[in-house]
Structure 1
């Protein structure tokens, strides 16, 4: 029987990603102009033990499909073709969807074989049979097991009435080659034509998936080599394309083409000045408020200045008219003003000046921010050693730095072998040490290679990596340009937890035989813990690109996850839990499906794109990149009812946040070079944040 799980989902998720086949995946859908027959076999329902049958043994197009006692008749004998069809009868009819319906429940019938998308099927190694057009699963209506029960298409849910046994099908585990020569033409304010050269595949390319910066834009057929995309004026995007075969194997991404569309019309009129700026202090935290500016097109940001220095950027459409400035000096007067900016960077005159005097001591949540280091590369993973000093990984340089936060002194402890970049978000990522580090000296890390993502450990002795001690604990985590996950965290149970992305193939997240789109749990020596829920490394699944892991005082694991274009989410991870991707993003999609676990809090992507999390005194701190902010989210029971925003634009994109030994936080930026593999092209900072009550 099968062990993989695949979820169907509504547009656009259905085209967002398909199953990435590992060695155990069996898939049958192949694009071919001349279908060739494969094996012929009955298709037997796991729950009922009855066979997929054409009702009444009819050969007439439009006849419905049911389950019935297996009897070996022609109406129960199905042939899988290399075109992805399921054919029945010697004068063949194809399994088809009435009206090409893509919403559940969709009725099934037999039809004259035409090669239509509604006649394409994918037989997965978990026993599900998925309609390529709809992404939904072959389902016995109502979960019934009696003769003549209709078979339909329904949202994939992993239940036994959606499982089938059959000897049809053939394995295809080879992904297409990388699409070549990506290029653009016809760039105007709101559209661009994106083209590429064809990939090759051992069977055939079925789809091309077009992305910008890790977000899916469009999927097109395998015969399409250019497409028109809708773009946003003035926004800088990196476009690339992946090839996907009908078995769900996904290529590595093409090279990136950077575009910045012009504005649709010239706008030289600046916004009016914000007015009625006021400020109030609570201890060493200042809260500013003002009346909105107006603009002939629209205000897109407010720039907040303290003493003539830019300290915050409030964005949105329209942006908020408040700002919190934290970690100031006690008993000190500060002068603020605000200006408004539109989409074409026209800037208003200044608001009035507000003078605010802080109190005698910190009375808020954030009491001080101190820069402890600068860095030319991306600090990705970061941890505190038992002596209070810091180790951090440099993602694109592939080495590890030992930093003394008291003095700012740095020591390069060595380069990790076999690390490769992905021209996106891969490289040297998460770091962790076990509670036993003082005696065993093992440093754990997750990194990309030329073929996969993996978890390794190397001894740290005499402030150097002892490379001869390297042990490779886990390999075969699929890589791609984006969606590599990468965070490591030891739990209070002494196990190592790792977050993995879906490798730009959403159905990987539902593949219980695969390692992608998961939270994994390992013994420190890399073996599978005996109490893991599926007898594998998988602890939870249905994740898109998780990059934040942290444990609270009760030993519960919290996770932070990037959404595609709608919602980011914070999840409370449970053993064996399914968090719904790709059918569900945040609370959108088919999130009400039985078995999906809802996030504890969501954030619009424009106000999120958050990477690392830390928990201090049962408060979650979330570092966000696109939103350029730090969220403070107190845990209340198993809920996250409220969130405060700090450093809104003050320090730019924030990547990693970790507990500091004094009860504060370490915080790193990710402002430059975070979407390529070029070493030392950044201008990053590492901070210590002093926390209050």
Structure 2
């Protein structure tokens, strides 16, 4: 099926993400989403995959696409299941719009909020997360860049936004921020360094940090330093946060000087030693922890990086690359990613941001993980 986390076994299996077939109802909502290059079960051995016709205007024939003809998507947030329908919120970085999208046939994106944003310096509307108690309060959190600062706001459909955390430094670059509601009901906020690496090391600055706050913006209970919002420091331009299903480990992607990196977040520490680095700088963005593999979307290379992970949470080898265009299996530049259920994630694209857009871009897509033979990953 069909980009700030879920669980499978056997890292040696070489399991990867691809558009996938129907699964059982027990696994959650399962719309019929065949592979991008053919049927849901794949073509017979030795035969060529059945090609998916190219988009016709805003009509996309790939069943994994649930929204088309949007502006550049920076973040997505999966909505609670509604029968067999999968829904999500999608953030347009430059326009500042938040749209509700759905896998229901014939459904059109609906704008539920819009913010005045400054999209310069990789800023704009860059983060979305549902409230930890969304089913009761219907609140959504957003990370955005204004004329004066970077900030976190909360909003509900049809209501004006309210500031939660303001005064996050703004600069000529490094304004991007991402959000994730953690397993303890707190909000994780990864902030850029606003182009000032010294700010990331300054404990008094909100720049270049992994913050952990409650829904009112105050320091969350259990933070390493009482009265401080800072969980960890040392970020430059974060792209995504993800957490294991049991909440035992948290990861953040970052675009550092001369390399892209993945950090495992250890509370109270400075993020200096990544678990993996990409010298080719593919533009690491959203991520998902599925126990034995970390899936990382890339917004420049336009693929998925699959990092094998041990039971102890250590990266055990170099990533295999999937959704890179082989057999037509690619959606181009992938950005934000969020977990729908233990088998699927929703992701956004930003092909209008320097990529090679098709007529239906930019899109919101659903991605699932499928088994491949061990050792099938490519360098």
Query: Contact conserved, 1:327 with 1:369, CA < 8 A, in 2?
Result: no
Residue equivalent to 1:517? 208
The CA deviation at 1:552 is: 0.5
Task: Describe the superposition over 1:443-467 as per-residue Cα deviations: whole angstroms up to 9, x where unpaired.
Answer: 11111110000001112xxxx3311
Counterparts of 1:648 and 1:474, CA distance in 2? 38
Q: 1:380 to 1:682 in 2, by over 3 A?
A: farther
Confirm whether residue 545 of structure 1 aligns to residue 237 of structure 2: yes
Q: Is the 8 A contact 2:79 2:340 kept in 1?
A: no
Task: Kindly provide the CA deviation profile for residues 237-292 of structure 1, in whole angstroms up to 9, marking residues without a partner as x.
Answer: xxxxxxxxxxxxxxxxxxxxxxxxxxxxxxxxxxxxxxxxxxxxx9999xxxxxxx
Query: In the TM superposition, what is the alpha-carbon distance from 1:402 to its structure 2 partner?
Result: 0.7
Partners of 1:631 and 1:524 in 2: CA distance: 32
Show CA shifts across 1:344-392 (max 9, x none): xxxxxxxxxxx6467xxxxxxxxx9722221331111211111341111
1:372 is aligned to 66
SS in 2 for 1:507: helix
1:607-644 per-position Cα deviation (integer Å, ceiling 9, x unaligned)? x2211112235532111122221012232112111322
1-structure distance, mates of 2:105, 2:268: 44
Q: Deviation string for 1:666-693 (max 9, x for gaps)?
A: 2222122369xxxxx9931222123224
1:638 aligns with 2:336: no
- How far apart are residue 489 of structure 1 and its match? 0.3
Long gaps (5+) in structure 1: 1-281, 286-324, 335-354, 359-367, 581-597, 676-680
Structure number with the higher strand fraction is 1
Compared CA separation, residues 413 and 618, structure 1 to 2 (3 A):
farther
Shift of 1:483: 1.3
How far apart, CA to CA, are the structure 2 residues paired with 1:577 and 1:370?
A: 40
Which residue number in structure 1 is paired with residue 170 of structure 2? 479
Secondary structure of 2:177's partner? Answer: coil
Matched, 1:332 2:10: no
Distance change in 2, residues 1:530/1:659 (3 Å): closer
Q: Which runs of 5+ in 2 are unaligned?
A: 1-14, 19-34, 50-61, 372-379
Aligned residues of 2:99 and 2:113 also touching (Cα < 8 A) = no
User: Which residue does 1:691 correspond to in 2?
Assistant: 369
Please point out which of 89, 95, 100 is paired with 1:397: 95
Query: Given the two structures, how large is their TM-score scaled by the length of structure 1?
Result: 0.42
Distance (whole Å) between structure 2 residues aligned to residue 283 and residue 571 of structure 1? 21
Are positions 1:579 and 2:248 aligned together?
A: no
1:669 matched to 2:349:
yes
In the TM superposition, 1:202-601 aligns within 5 A as 328-329=38-39, 330=41, 332=43, 356=47, 370-387=64-81, 388-407=86-105, 409-417=107-115, 419-459=116-156, 464-467=157-160, 470-534=161-225, 535-555=227-247, 556-565=249-258, 567-580=259-272, 598-601=273-276
Structure 2 vs 1, CA of residues 438 and 506 (structure 1 numbering), >3 Å: closer, same or farther? same
**SS at 1:508's partner residue?**
helix
- Deviation for aligned residue 1:530: 4.1
| SS of aligned partner of 2:167 | strand
Question: Structure 1 residues 616 and 465 mapped into 2: Cα distance closer, same or farther (>3 Å)?
Answer: farther
Q: 1:369 to 1:409 in 2, by over 3 A?
A: closer
On the 8 A contact 1:425/1:674 being kept in 2, the answer is no
Q: Would the aligned equivalents of 2:90 and 2:348 in 1 still touch at CA under 8 Å?
A: no
Q: For 2:205 and 2:360, how far apart are their aligned partners in 1?
A: 34
Q: How big is the shift at 1:416?
A: 3.2
**Cα deviation, residue 437, structure 1:** 0.9
Return the TM-score normalized by structure 2: 0.75
Residues 644 and 478 from structure 1, CA distance in 2 versus in 1: closer, same or farther, beyond 3 angstroms?
same
Q: Quick one: distance in 1 between partners of 2:292 and 2:136?
A: 29
Match of 2:3 in 1: none
Offset at residue 524 of structure 1 (A): 1.2
Maintained 8 Å contact 1:389/1:404: yes
Question: Highest relative contact order (Cα 8 Å, sep 6+), 1 or 2?
Answer: 2
Instruction: Mark the CA change 1:474 to 1:371 in structure 2 (over 3 Å): closer, same or farther.
Output: same
Aligned length: 313
